[in-house]
Amino acid sequence: MGAALSRAAQWTTAGSGTGKLEITPLNESLLKEIIKYVENFSARHPQEAALVFKEPIEWTTTLEPSAFGPDYEISKSTVNSKETVKDGQPLLHLSSHTIQVYCFSQLSNILQLAQDKKMKEVRACLEANRDPVAKILGPSFATVEGEDTSMLRLLDKVKDDSEGHEAELKMKMLLLLQQLDMQLLNNSLKQMSQEVRPTPVTVKNDVELLKRFCGEGEKMVLKSVEYTSDYEFSNGCRAAPWRQVHGEICYLLIKPLDTDPLYITCSTAGVFLNGGMEKESEAIDYERKSEVYKDLVTLLKNKSPHFAENITKQDFAIYEEPPSTQKTQHVELVDTEEQGQTQRSYENREKNVHEKMRQQPTQNKPTPPKKLEPSLKWKNLNLTSYQEEKNENSTIIKTGKPDKETAAKGRISPRSPEFKNKAHFSFAHLPRPSARKPKTPGAKDEDFSESSSESEEDEDQPDRRQESNTDLPSEYWQIQKLVKYLKIGSLKILKEISRNSQIRRAIVDLGGLQTMVKILDSPDKDLKFLAAETIANVAKFRRARRTVRQHGGIKRLVGLLDCVPDNSANLTSEQEKDIEVARCGALALWSCSKSTRNKEAIRKAGGIPLLAQLLKSPHENMLIPVVGTLQECASEQSYRVAIQTEEMIKDLVKNLSRENPELQMHCASAIFKCAEDIVTRDLVRQYDGLKPLAALLSMSENKQLLAAATGAIWKCSISIENVAKFQEYKALETLVGLLTDQPEEVLVNVVGALGECAQEPSNRAVIRKCGGIQPLVNLLTGTNQALLVNVTKAVGACAIEPDNMAIIDRLDGVRLLWSLLKNQNPDVQASAAWAICPCIENAKDAGEMVRSFVGGLELIVNLLNSDNKEVLAGVCAAIAKIAKDEENLAVITDHGVVPMLAKLTSTTDDKLRRHLAEAIAQCCMWGSNRVSFGGAGAVAPLVHYLNSQDTSVHRATAQALFQLSRDPNNCITMHENAVVKLLLDMVGSTDEVLQEAAAGCVANIRRLALANEKARYG
C-alpha cells in the first residue's frame, strides 16, 4: 500500500511526506478500493485484523464522539475503545479530533461509523500516513526505493523481528498488504494506460490551430495566444528543466475576447490555470489555480463563454495523433548537461511575453507529430528501448491489463510518473563528490551570487557559477530514492551531493526539505546535525529558503543554537555533539538568512540572543557561520540595533584579530553594515577595532577580505574622530595605493573611504602627495554606478584644496564630472552636481572653464526638470556658483533658468529650499530677473521658508528676499505675506549674513511704504 500510494496516486507535492491527495478520478478509484478492502478485512482475516500495529496510525478525523457505540468509553471530547493492548493501551483513542488506531479491526469499525464520510476519512488517514506499512509492521519495513524489497528479504525481516505465533501473523499480514499493493498498482496502471494525455506535439498543434482564430474579426474567438518562452528544448518542451520534473511542457498567455487574460500550464497530466506572471520579477507563479482539463479547448470553453459559443461555428479540427502514438509517448526530463544544452542556454533565451515577440510570423500549417526519442538518461539506466515499450504497452491498451510476460518484467507505461521510479538506484557506483574541501555558505561562489535584498517573489534561477561535479551521471537524478525515507545513511549521501545546484533543486522538488525540517525535532543528535547541514547546502536559492520557512524550519533551526559555548579543552562526546548541532544550525540559518522574510523569522524566533551567545565561542568553525548569519542579517535595521544592544560589536572586533581570513572577512562585513549608525562607529573605536581594520588593508591578495575591510573603514570614516585614528595608523596612504588594479567592489569602498577622509583639510594634501588625484580622476570614466557616486564625492572633496583643483583641471576632471550629469542614474547626477560646486569655486578662471563645455550650461539647467530632490538640490547649488559669472548668468537666463527655479519654490524639503534660495538670490543679479521671479510666483513661497527650523534656510532665503525686494511689486507681495515680522525677528540674529540680508529686505519694504505715503499725502 505504501508503494502504491507513492507511485500510483496523484499528490499535490511530489515525493513529499506532507502532500495532499488530489481529487482526480484515479485517486477516487484507489480510495474506493482501499475502503472496500479495509471494510471486509475483519470478516475475511479475523486473526490478522486483531494484530496490534507497531505504531498507531494517526490522523485528524471528522468523527464526533457521539458517533461511537457501546464498545467505546466516551467522555466529552475523548473516546477510548474497551479493547486494549496487553499494557492497557486502548486499541482506539480519540482526543480533540486526533484519532489513533492500533489494529485493522478498529479501522473497519471506523469506516462503518463514518457512513457517508468514508472517502474523506480514508483520504485524511492516507495523507497523514504516507507509508502505513512502516506503522503496521515497524520502521524496518518502510518503503525505501533502492533497497532490496523482495518478498524473501521482507519475510526474513519478520523472522528477525518476531517469533512464534506473532511471526506467523506478521507474515500473513505482510502477504496481504503486498497483495493489496499489487492490486492498487495494477488497477492504476490500467486507468493510466487508457488515458490520452497531452504531449509536446499535441500541445504545439493545439496552439498553432488556436492562433488561426485570434484577432479582432467576426470569425475570431480569441485576442491572442502566446508562449511565455520562445526557447524550445529538443524534446519539444518550453518549461524550464526543473519544472519538466513535474511533467510540465510549456506555459501560455491566452487573451480571450470576453474575460481577463488566462495564464495556463500545459503538462502531461492536462492543462490548468497557474498563478500568472508576477509584475516586478516577471516570474511565473507555478501553483495550480483551477481544475485540470484534458486539453486547451476544453479549458477555454469553461473559462470563456464567447469562445464556447463561437468555436463550434468554426472549421476547427484539433489535430490528434494516432491512438497508439498518443498512448505511448512520454516527455523526457531535460538532462541539462547533455548535447551541450545547459541551463544557462535556457536562461539566455528565456523571454517574457511582455517583451517583443518573435518577428517571424507563425506558420498556420500544423506541425507533424515529432517522434520523441528516449534521452541519454534513460539509456544510461539500461531501461528497455522506446520501441519495445511501445510494443509491449499496446497489449495493455487493448485489454486494459498487462499480459503475463509484461507483468513479469514489471514494466509500466513510459508516460507515467512511476516509470522513472522503476529504475534501480545503487549507491555503490555513485562517484564521490569533489575531493577538494567544500566551501562553507557565504564563500564567493555562493555569497556574491545572491543578494541580501532579494525579492521573495522572484522566479528561481539556476546558479550561474561553475561548480564541482556538474557533469553528473543519470543515477543522481533518482534522488527520490534518498529523499522519500531519510535515515542516517541517506542524509550522509544527500549532504555531500547537495553541493550541486541541480541536485539541490531535485531535493526541493521531491519534498526533501519538509522531511529534513521534521528531522530537526529528532532526539538523535547525529540526525539533527546531518539534516541541518543538508538544509544549509540546499537552501541556496529562493524557493528552498521559502520552503524551509513555510514548514517551520526557521524556528527549529534557531532552537538548535541553544548551546552554551564551552571554553574547556576536554569536551565529552555529548558536548561535542551539542556544539556540532549548533554549528550546523547556524550554517543552515546562514543560508536561509539571504531572504528578508527569513531574517525576520529568525528574529521573531529568538535567534539574536542565541547568536550573540555563540559569538563568544572559542571554536572558529562555529564562529564562521554565526558571524556569517549576523553579517547577512545586518542589512536590516532591527538587527543592527540588536547587535549594539546585545554587545556584539565587542566580539566582532575581537574576532577581527583572529588569524582566520574567512572569519575576519565576515566580521568586517558585519561592521561594514552596522557602521551606518554613529553609535556602532563609536563602539568600534572604543573597542580598538580601527587598528585591526587598518591592518587588514595589507591583505591585498585576498580580495573578499579586502573588500570587507575597506567597506568597514569607509563606513567608520563617516565619524571625524575615526578619521583621526586612521590618520594615526597611516591608513590613508595605504588606501591611495589601492586605487589601481583592484576589483570594483574594493574600489567602491576605497574611494568611499577617501571621500570621507577628504572632508578633513589635512587629508586632502595627503591624498595629493601620495599621488591619489590622478587615479581618482581616471575612475570618473568608469561605468559602475556605485563607484561613480563615491569617486565624484572624493574628487569634489579634494577640489576644495586649490593645489588639488589645479591638478583636477589639468587632467580635464571637471569636464568628466560635467559629462556625468548625463548619466541615467540620479545618484550619479546628484553626486556629480555637488562635486562641480567646489570645482567652480576653486578654479582659477571658473567662468571661462564652464563656458568651454559645449552645451554644458543648457545641460545643467535642463536637470531642473528632474524628479529627484537630491539632483535638484545639487543642481541649484551648482547654478548658484555658475551665476557668479555674469556671462554665464546671461546664458542660463536665456535657457529659461528663472521660470524653472520659480516652479520649484513650492518644495517643503529644507535642503532643496536652501540651495534653491541661493540660486534665486544669485540669478537676481542679471537684467530683469527680479521682476521675472515675481511674475512667476516665486516670492510668496519663499516667504514661508522663513518658518523653517533650519537656520541655513533662513540665511539663504533672506538673501534671496533681499535681492527680490529691489522690485516694488515683489515688496508688495512680501508685505501681503507678512514677511516683515519674520524678518524683524531675524534682524537680531547672531548670524551676520542673515542679520544683514533681513535688515536690507525690511529697509527696501519700508522705503517703498514711505514713498507711497509721500506720493499720497505729498
Q: What's the whole-number mean pLDDT along residues 892-898?
A: 94
What single DSSP character describes residue 67?
G
Task: State mean pLDDT over 3-12.
Answer: 54
Contacts of 981 (CB under 8 A, 6+ apart): none
Across the chain, mean pLDDT equals 79
Average pLDDT of the residues in 362-374: 39
- Alpha carbon 114 to its chain's center: 45
Q: How far is CA 623 from CA 238, 337, 365, 565, in A?
A: 45, 37, 65, 11
Q: With bands split at pLDDT 50, 70 and 90, how would you rate the model's confidence at 143?
A: low
Determine which of 160-174, 527-541, 925-939, 1001-1015 has the lowest per-residue pLDDT on average.
Answer: 160-174
**Number of alpha carbons in the 13 Å side-chain half-sphere of residue 760:** 20
**Across 10-14, 465-469, 930-934, least confident range:** 465-469
Q: Would residue 7 count as lying in a domain?
A: yes
Q: Which of 205, 262, 267 is nearest to 239 (CA)?
A: 267
Rg (CA), the chain: 38
pLDDT(919) > 80: yes
Check pLDDT > 60 for residue 582: yes
Are the beta carbons of 894 and 919 closer than 8 angstroms?
no
Q: Are strands 248-256 and 276-277 parallel, antiparallel or unpaired?
A: unpaired
Q: How much is the pLDDT for 481?
A: 55
Lowest pLDDT segment from 8-12, 126-130, 422-426, 444-448? 422-426
Of 134, 159, 194, the one marking the end of a domain is 194
- Note the pLDDT tens digit of each residue in 119-136: 888 888 888 888 888 888
Confidence of residue 623 (pLDDT cuts 50, 70, 90): very high
Tally the domains of the chain.
6
Residue-level pLDDT at 494: 80
Could you give the percent of the chain with pLDDT greater than 90?
A: 46
Checking if the pLDDT of 332 tops 60, the result is no
Is the model more confident about 747 or about 563? 747
| Partners of 214 in beta bridges | 222
The answer on 230 and 317 residing in a single domain is yes
CB-based contact 930:970 (threshold 8 Å)? yes
Taking phi over 0 as left and psi of -120 to 50 as alpha, with beta for the rest, 57 belongs to beta
Q: What is the mean pLDDT of residues 551-575?
A: 84
Q: With a cut of 60, say whether residue 710 has pLDDT above it.
A: yes
pLDDT for 16-36, tens place per residue? 445 677 666 677 888 888 888
pLDDT of residue 366: 41
Per-residue pLDDT band for 159 (boundaries 50, 70, 90) equals low
Name the amino acid, one letter, at 333: L
Q: In this structure, are 971 and 946 located in the same domain? A: yes
Query: Which amino acid would we find at residue 51?
Result: L
Average pLDDT over residues 752-779: 93
Q: Give pLDDT tens digits for 255-289.
A: 999 999 999 999 988 899 998 887 777 788 888 88
pLDDT at 460 over 50: no
Domain range for residue 65? 2-194
pLDDT digits (tens, 9 = 90+) for 963-980: 999 999 999 999 889 899
Q: What is the CATH number of the domain that holds 310?
A: 3.30.2280.10
With bands split at pLDDT 50, 70 and 90, how would you rate the model's confidence at 666? very high
Shared-domain flag, residues 217 and 137: no
Q: What is the pLDDT of residue 568?
A: 63
In a domain, 682, yes or no: no
Given a cut of 80, whether residue 199 has pLDDT beyond it is: yes
Whether 704 is in a domain gets the answer: no
Same domain membership, residue 362 and residue 401: no
**Quick one: which of 457, 109, 94, 434 has its CA closest to 287?**
457
Residue pair 205/318 in contact by the 8 Å Cβ criterion: yes
- For the stretch 481-516, pLDDT in tens is 566 555 586 788 788 888 888 888 888 888 889 989
CB atoms within 10 A of CB 65: 15
**Predicted pLDDT at 722:** 94
Question: Could you tell me the CA-to-CA distances from 331 to 236, 419, 480, 506, 907 in Å, in that order?
Answer: 8, 11, 19, 17, 62
pLDDT for position 235: 85
pLDDT at 430: 31
- Amino acid identity, residue 361? P
DSSP 931: H
Q: For the residues 348-355, what does the mean pLDDT come to?
A: 39
Query: In terms of pLDDT, which residue wins out, 830 or 436?
Result: 830
Pair 364, 501 in one domain: no
Is 676 domain-assigned? Answer: no
Give the C-alpha distances (Å, rounded to integers) separating 409 from 268, 404, 406, 688. 25, 9, 5, 74
Can you give the pLDDT at residue 1010? 80
| Residue 576 in domain | yes
State the pLDDT at residue 96. 86
- Do 130 and 206 reside in the same domain of the chain? no
> Of 614, 646, 678, at which residue does a domain stop?
646
Largest CA distance in the chain: 134
Alpha-carbon distances, residue 289 vs 12, 213, 280, 677, 962 (angstroms): 12, 26, 20, 46, 68
pLDDT (average), residues 689-712: 93
Residues 751 and 822 in one domain: yes
Residue 681 lies in a domain: no
Residues 90 and 117 in one domain: yes
Label residue 193 by pLDDT band (50, 70, 90).
low
Specify if 680 maps to a domain.
no
| Residue after which a domain boundary falls, among 146, 173, 194 | 194
Residue 365 domain-assigned? yes
How does residue 1017 score in pLDDT terms, banded at 50, 70 and 90?
low
The per-residue pLDDT for range 809-839, each reduced to its tens digit, is: 999 999 999 999 999 999 999 999 999 999 9
Q: CATH number for the domain including 914?
A: 1.25.10.10
Kindly state whether residues 210 and 114 are assigned to the same domain: no
Identify the band that residue 112 occupies on the pLDDT scale cut at 50, 70 and 90: confident
Q: Are residues 240 and 305 in the same domain?
A: yes
**319 has pLDDT over 50:** no
CB-based contact 572:559 (threshold 8 Å)? no
Answer yes or no: do 234 and 369 share one domain.
Answer: yes
Strand partners, 277: 284
pLDDT band at 408 (very low <50, low <70, confident <90, very high): very low
Q: Are 85 and 33 a contacting pair, CB within 8 Å?
A: no
Burial class of residue 294, CB neighbours in 10 A (0-12, 13-18, 19+): middle
Position 1016 scores a pLDDT of: 67
Q: Do 745 and 894 share a domain, yes or no?
A: no
